[in-house]
Amino acid sequence: GAVVSQHPSWVICKSGTSVKIECRSLDFQATTMFWYRQFPKQSLMLMATSNEGSKATYEQGVEKDKFLINHASLTLSTLTVTSAHPEDSSFYICSASGSGRSLRTQYFGPGTRLLVL
């Protein structure tokens, strides 16, 4: 139980294009979803927190117009990197928490590797 998926696992795009990453909770309702960025050999950096049906709350220093987050349902959140540039290349990981065994506990997706050329 408490499985989170992400799609795609890998994406390569040209500079200036937009990329959408999906995060789904497969067997529980995720009232809250989180988006992280991880640089090589470093810990996770929280980018934003989203609650179903509400606007996302972004961490300081994260551009909300560049990293668009939508949490339209209790099982799906999307992160869109708009006008991507090479410095946006990174490993993006989502997590979700909700009720039951996911209460007060974040379960993580497998991550999405983004490479911007």
Partner 1 sequence: AQSVTQLDSQVPVFEEAPVELRCNYSSSVSVYLFWYVQYPNQGLQLLLKYLSGSTLVKGINGFEAEFNKSQTSFHLRKPSVHISDTAEYFCAVSDQQGGSEKLVFGKGTKLTVNP
Binding site for partner 1 (CB under 8 A): 2, 4, 6, 32, 34, 42-44, 46, 49, 57, 91, 93, 95, 97, 104-111, 113
CA distance readout (Å), 4 to 24, 27, 102 = 6, 8, 11
Looking at the Cβ atoms of 49 and 75, the one nearer to partner 1 is 49
Taking the C-alpha atoms of residue 28 and residue 46, their distance in angstroms, rounded to an integer, is 22
Looking at the Cβ atoms of 15 and 57, the one nearer to partner 1 is 57
Looking at the Cβ atoms of 36 and 84, the one nearer to partner 1 is 36
Minimum CB separation of residue 83 from partner 1 in Å reads: 26
Taking the C-alpha atoms of residue 1 and residue 59, their distance in angstroms, rounded to an integer, is 29
Taking the C-alpha atoms of residue 11 and residue 21, their distance in angstroms, rounded to an integer, is 9
